[in-house]
Amino acid sequence: MQALILAGGEGTRLRPLTLTRPKPAVTLVDRPFIAYMVDWIARHGITDVVIACGFGSDAVREALDDGRREAPRLRYVQEPEPLGTAGPLRLAADQGMLDDRFLVLNGDLLADLDLSALIRAHQDRRAAVTLALHSVQDPSSYGLVRRAGGPHAPGGSATAAGGEVWGFLEKPTSEEIDTDEVNAGAYVVDSSVIQLIPRGRMFSIEREVFPRLVGRGLYGHRLEGYWMDVGTPERYLEASWDVLEGRVRTELGDRLGGAGLLVADEATVDPRASVRPPALLEPGVSVEADAVIDRAVVGRAAAIGEGATVSGSVVLGDCRVGPRALVEGAILAPGAVVGDGARIGAGSVIGEGARIEAGSEIEAGARVDPGRVAS
Ligand code: GDD
Ligand code: MG
């Protein structure tokens, strides 16, 4: 079975992380984000992956080629301009890359849903499209799916996993929300659907294809398990702890076996520093005396100064956090520098190579652009 990953979005809500590299190539815990997806689908027998990229496709390719095992086979389609969520299917099909039936995945998912069950459900019903459905508390930022047998359908029951879809509403308003099931951004597509997609222009599968398939072979299949759209800094941080603590099934989580702590042999931690899980300290990291690392990722060759605190934060490779600095609930892109005693507020995202001057205070939720000097 084959999969096409939609990896060409701009990742606007994750800026400035996504200003210097495309979202699929942004590091999550210890590897490029898209590597988790490739592992996930490979566990369900996908042997052939087509990645649809817009800007930065070279970075995605490099990120994935780096230290990779052989399977599955990876190929890339590059869009001359963004084609939305449907256009890339048409482009890949026109380039002869797609089989009669294939899986499509949004490129920003961290999940361990049972894709094998989804594929089986699709085959059993000879559907045009079978959407993986997941239950969320607030469907407003997703695609709402109403289906026969769904939890709130007339005569429906919450236990029936699958059913024909009778309504698809992308980004529903609060009045429109009448179920908790949304499009999980993973679906099996029959190639007959490609003819609904025009060539060479932006086209939305959620707004312009799925609604048209209602009553014409659009099915939904609810899957339990871990599922997260890692589209915002808050969810990026949450996803990091979920990987470390094994709430989502991943290769790294399996290796850590629930301990949530990995300190590389090649990391140097002063005996007077304290490291509390969940935490990952990668090779080349140095942590000086009296520093506190509490619920954090510290990437390759990053240096944490004496008495500094890094808590609930991700500090990517080559960053420097000066003595007595306080980094709380923040994300530091590679190579960022935090001066002595500076304080970085919760929810801040500091761009690649940016510098926060000593003693300054960066307010909660701030965004500092790559390479900028902020005080
Ligand atoms: N190649 C390509 N080209 N990919 C694109 C483009 C494009 O022009 N535009 C968006 N994408 C990719 C994004 O990179 C992302 O992986 C995926 O398509 C979905 O886009 P998002 O911008 O993340 O959409 P969303 O999260 O608001 O909503 C989508 O995902 C939800 C689940 O997370 C929809 O599919 C919803 O229906 C769904 O519930
Ligand atoms: Mg998304």
**27 and 145: one domain?**
yes
- Helix 33-42 vs helix 57-65: crossing angle, to nearest 10: 60
Which residues form the domain of 356?
259-374
Q: Could you tell me the CA-to-CA distances from 224 to 80, 181, 339 in Å, in that order?
A: 37, 11, 45
**188 and 307: one domain?**
no
Closest residue by Cα to atom 31, ligand 1, is 142
In the reported structure, the alpha carbon of residue 9 is separated from the centroid of ligand 1 by a whole-number distance in angstroms of 6
The residue with tokens 């190639």 is 191
**173 and 30: one domain?**
yes
CA-nearest of 205, 231, 192, 229 to 84 is 205
Token reading at 8: 């060409």
**199 and 272: one domain?**
no
pLDDT of residue 158: 44
Q: Does this model's pTM top 0.85?
A: yes
Would you give per-residue pLDDT tens digits along the chain (375 residues)? 999 999 988 888 889 988 888 888 899 999 999 999 999 999 999 999 999 988 777 888 888 876 666 679 999 999 999 999 999 999 999 999 999 999 999 999 999 999 999 999 999 999 999 999 999 999 999 999 998 776 665 554 444 677 899 999 999 999 999 999 999 999 999 999 999 999 999 999 999 999 999 999 999 999 999 999 998 999 999 999 999 999 999 999 888 887 899 999 999 999 999 999 999 999 999 999 999 999 999 999 999 999 999 999 999 999 999 999 999 999 999 999 999 999 999 999 999 999 999 999 999 999 999 999 988
Residue 199 has a CB neighbour count (10 Å cut-off) of: 11
Burial bucket for residue 136 (CB in 10 Å: 0-12, 13-18, 19+): middle
**274 and 207: one domain?**
no
Which atom of ligand 1 is nearest the CA belonging to 5?
16
**229 and 268: one domain?**
no
**290 and 219: one domain?**
no
In the reported structure, the alpha carbon of residue 142 is separated from the centroid of ligand 2 by a whole-number distance in angstroms of 8
**16 and 105: one domain?**
yes
Show the ligand 1 pocket: residues with CB < 6 angstroms. Answer: 6-9, 52, 54, 79, 82-85, 88, 106-108, 142-143, 170, 182-183, 185, 206, 229, 231
151 touches 181 (CB < 8 A) = yes
In the reported structure, the alpha carbon of residue 106 is separated from the centroid of ligand 1 by a whole-number distance in angstroms of 6
94 touches 194 (CB < 8 A) = no
Cα 33 from Cα 245, distance rounded (Å): 17
Number of domains the chain contains = 2
327 touches 309 (CB < 8 A) = yes
